[in-house]
Amino acid sequence: MALIGYARVSTQEQNEARQLEAFTELGVDKYFIDKCSGKDAARPQLTAMRTYVREGDTVIVTEYARLARSVRDLLSIVDELRAKDVQLRSVKEQFDTSTPQGKLMLTIFAGLAEFEREMILERQREGIALAKERGVYKGRQALEFDESKFRRECKKWRNGEQTARATMSKLEMKPNRFYRKVKELGI
């Protein structure tokens, strides 16, 4: 019977230290960390955690939004854990799926979180539409791109003189943009 922590931050730049500190205070035996969006339940460390847990374990999250963003995903994960006789505890919301009250609270909180997220997105869309009508909103500004420098650095990468990561660092590009440009330019 182990305490297994699951932490998630939305980007590589965000820091999971607050979540890990909570795990230390609770005596978590092992933890898994994802650094990606929670909108998709197919995350590498979430999958690893789901595979790792055993009967009698308890999964600890600092808040249920770290585990899933949608009610469907959250309840699916909880059902999978329950089928393995694994409990789920949330520090912030103070629920524990080993009790009927905890299961009810989980469902209510998950529904409210999904509703809140949808309302934020709706207000954002409305605000952008109004700003466009007034001519204030121009959309995301294009990032600078020096094709000759890009080709020069990519040549070094392709020749094995530097890693892809070093190339991205020199070009100040994130992986998704870097590989998109590589594909667009046929490098």
pLDDT in tens, 106-120: 778 777 877 887 898
User: What pTM, to 2 d.p., does this model score?
Assistant: 0.58
Q: What is the mean pLDDT of the chain?
A: 88
| pLDDT at 12 (0 to 100) | 72
* Sequential DSSP letters for 133-163: HTT----SPPPP--HHHHHHHHHHHHTTSS-
Give the active site residues. Answer: 10
Domains and CATH numbers, the chain: 3-112 (3.40.50.1390), 147-185 (no CATH)
